[in-house]
A and B are shown apart, each in its own frame.
Chain A
Amino acid sequence: MSQTAARPAPSTADKPVVPPRRSPPWRDRFSRWDVKASPYLYIAPFFLVFGVVGLFPLLYTGYVSMFDWELGADHPEFIGFGNYVELFGDDQFYKTLTNTVSIFLLSSGPQVVIAVLLAALLNARLRLPTAWRVGVLLPYAASLVAIGIIFANLFGPHYGLVNSVFELFGLDRVDWQANRFASHIAIAIMVNWRWTGYNALIILAAMKAIPQQVHEAAVVDGASPVRRFFAITLPLLRPTLIFVVVTSTIGGLQIFTEPKLFDAMPGSNNGGSTNQFQTVTLYMYQTAFESQHFGYASAMAWVLFLVILVVASLNFLLTRRLAR
C-alpha cells in the first residue's frame, strides 16, 4: 500500500540510528479528517438527490395543493382546503379511484396466487432450471410502452387477435375498450403478464430457503404434498408474501402507462370516452400537464398518497393474518 513507510533508512553509518520517520503531520491530519468525513461524503449523494426529488416534492405537493395554482400565474391564490373540498365532490375523481382499485384488485390478487403456484412448479427438480427461470422472467424486460401498445392491439375491438379467437370458438366479441369491466380485465392482464414471473422468482427464493428437513419430517408423518404446501410452505413464506403484496400495492395503485396507452383512439389519451378505465394517476397527469391545474392535481396526488398508505397497511395486516 503506502510506499513511504516501507522505504529502508539511508546508509548513514556514522550517525546515531534514528527510528524510521513517521508520516509528516499533514498526512496525519488528512488521515484523521479522512476517517471522519469520508462516510458522510459517501452517503451525501443519496440524501441530496432524495431531498431534491423525493422529500421536497412530496411536501411541496401538499403546499401547492392549498392554492389555485395555474401554469404561468404569478400570484397563485391561497384557497386552503378548497381543492380537497372540490375533489370530494368530483364524480370523475371517484370514478378514477374506483377504476384504480378495481384494476388493482383484478391484478394483484391473481398475480400473487399464480406467482406462488409458478414458484412451486419452478421449485421442482427441473432440467435446465436457469433456462426456465429466465423464460418466466422474460416479460420483465419489456417496456411498459411497448406492452401497452401491443396489448391494445391484441385487445382491439375490430381486428384484435383476442376477439378473433373468441369468434373462432363461437363466443361473442367483447369491446375491450368500451366496456368498463372488460377494460379493467384487459389492463389487469397486462399488469399480470409483466409482473407474475418476477414475483414468482422472489417467492421461489424464499421457498429454496425452507430447510429440507422440515419437509422430510412431514413426509415421515404421512402428510400429503397438498397438506405440506398449506401447512409448511405457505406459512414460512409469510415475510416474502408480505413484501410482494405491499410492493405490488404501491405500484398497482399508481398505475399509469397501461391505461394511458390502452385506447382505441390513442390520440385522446383520456382513459376511455367516458373515463371507464381512467386511473387516478392518469387523471392527475391530465389535470396537471394538459389542463395545467397544478393545485387541483396536487390535491389528487396527496389523497392518492394517503390511499396507498392505508391500503398498503391493510394488506400488510391481512397478509400477516392469512399466512399464519
Chain B
Amino acid sequence: MKRAGFWTYGLLGAFVLGSAFPFYWSYLVASRDSGMLTDRLPPLVPGGNFWANAQRVFDSVEFWKALVNSVVVAGSVTFSTVLFSTLAGFAFAKLRFRGRDPLFLFVVATLAVPTQLGIIPLYMSMADFGWVGGLAAVTVPSLVTALGVFWMRQYTVDAVPFELVEAARVDGCSMIRIYWHVCLPAVRPAAAFLGMFTFMTAWNDFLWPLIVLDAGNPTVQVALEKLQSGYYVDYSLVLAGTTLATIPVLVVFVALGRQIVAGIMQGAVKG
C-alpha cells in the first residue's frame, strides 16, 4: 500500500474540521453575548463571557441537580450493564445448560426490536409503580441490554479457555468464583469498552428521561431542552449549557479515544 498523499490528508483534515466545528461554534457563541449573532459575519474567535454565561445556566435551571442526576443514572446503568452482561456472556459462552442456544438466539433476535416504540405502556407501568418523576424510572429500563450480553458473549468465547474453567471446577471452585477470578480478568478490555459505551449512551439519552422526569428533577439533557424551550431563546445561555454538558463526555472521549475506537472496530469484525 502506498503512503497516504496530499489528497488523503486534505480530505481527512476537512472531515475532522467539519466534525469539530459545531463544538467550536457552540463554545464561540457561549463565550460571547447573543448580540454577536446579529452581526453580518460573526467573529470567529472566542470572547471572554463563557463563565458569566455558564453562571446564568446554573441560575436558570436546576443544572447542579441535573449533573448529579446524570452521574447517578449513567453510573448505575453502567455498573449494572457491565455486571449483568459479563455474567450472562460468561454463562452463554462457557457454561453448559439446557436451552442455551435457543435462549441466546432469542437475545440476538431482541436486538431488532425497537424499544422506543414500547414507551407508552412503559410509561403507564412506571405511573402504576409511582416511579414517574424519580430516577428509578430512568435507570431500571436500561439495567442490562441485549447488545451488552451479545457483545460480552462474543468476546468471552475466545478470551476464556475452557481448560481454565474446567481446572477451576475440578479444584472445587464455585461458579461465581470462576466468574470472578477466571472470566472477569480475561474479558476486562471488552468490559471496559462496554462500560464507556454504556456511560456515553446513558449520559446522552433524551426521549425517555424527557417523558418520565420533570423540570424540577431533570437529567442534563432534559435540563438543556428546558433551557431552550422559552419564547425568546438566549443562544449564549443555551449554548453555554450545551458546552457544559458536552465537556465531560468530550474529555473522557478524547482521553479514552484509542480504546473506544479499538472497541468499535473489534466489535465490527466479530459481529
Contacts and interface: CB of A to CB of B under 8 A. Distances in A.
Given A122-B12, A164-B40, A143 B168 contact: no
A43 B88 contact: yes
B181 to A, nearest CB: 8
Interface in B113-157: 113-125, 140-146, 149
B167 to A, nearest CB: 9
A145 interface: yes
Interface string B82-122: 00110110111001110010010001001011111111111
Contact of A121 (B8, B92, B207, B250): B8
Contact of B206 (A61, A133, A144): A144
Interface string A278-318: 00010001001100001001100110110010001000000
Contacts of B143: 45, 49
B220 to A, nearest CB: 8
Nearest to B94: A39
A256 B88 contact: no
Contact of A301 (B9, B38, B117, B173): B117
Interface in A23-69: 23, 27, 30-31, 34-36, 38-40, 42-43, 45-47, 49-50, 52-58, 60-61, 64
B11 A53 contact: no
B264 A125 contact: no
Contacts of A42: 87-88, 90-91, 95, 179
Contact of B172 (A31, A204, A308): A31
B114 A261 contact: no
Contact of B264 (A31, A202, A289): A202
A285 B211 CA distance: 9
Contacts of B260: 134, 137
Judged by DSSP, the binding face of A is: helix
Contact of B207 (A47, A137, A257): A257
B51 interface: no
B152 to A, nearest CB: 11
Contacts of B258: 130, 134
Contacts of A209: 269
Interface in A103-131: 118, 121-122, 124-127, 130
Contacts of B269: 205-206, 208-209
Contacts of A261: 225, 228
B109 to A, nearest CB: 11
Contacts of B41: 164-165, 168
A143 B221 contact: yes
Contacts of A154: 22, 25
B154 to A, nearest CB: 14
Given A143-B206, A146-B224, A43 B91 contact: yes
9 contacts: A5-B171, A40-B97, A121-B4, A124-B3, A135-B20, A154-B25, A205-B269, A267-B231, A301-B118
Interface of B: 1-4, 8-9, 11-12, 15-16, 18-20, 22-23, 25-26, 29, 37-38, 40-42, 80, 84-85, 87-88, 90-92, 95-97, 100, 103, 107, 110, 112-125, 140-146, 149, 168-169, 171-177, 179, 200, 203-204, 206-207, 211, 220-221, 224-225, 228-231, 233, 235, 238-239, 242, 245-246, 249-250, 252-254, 257-258, 260-261, 264-269, 271
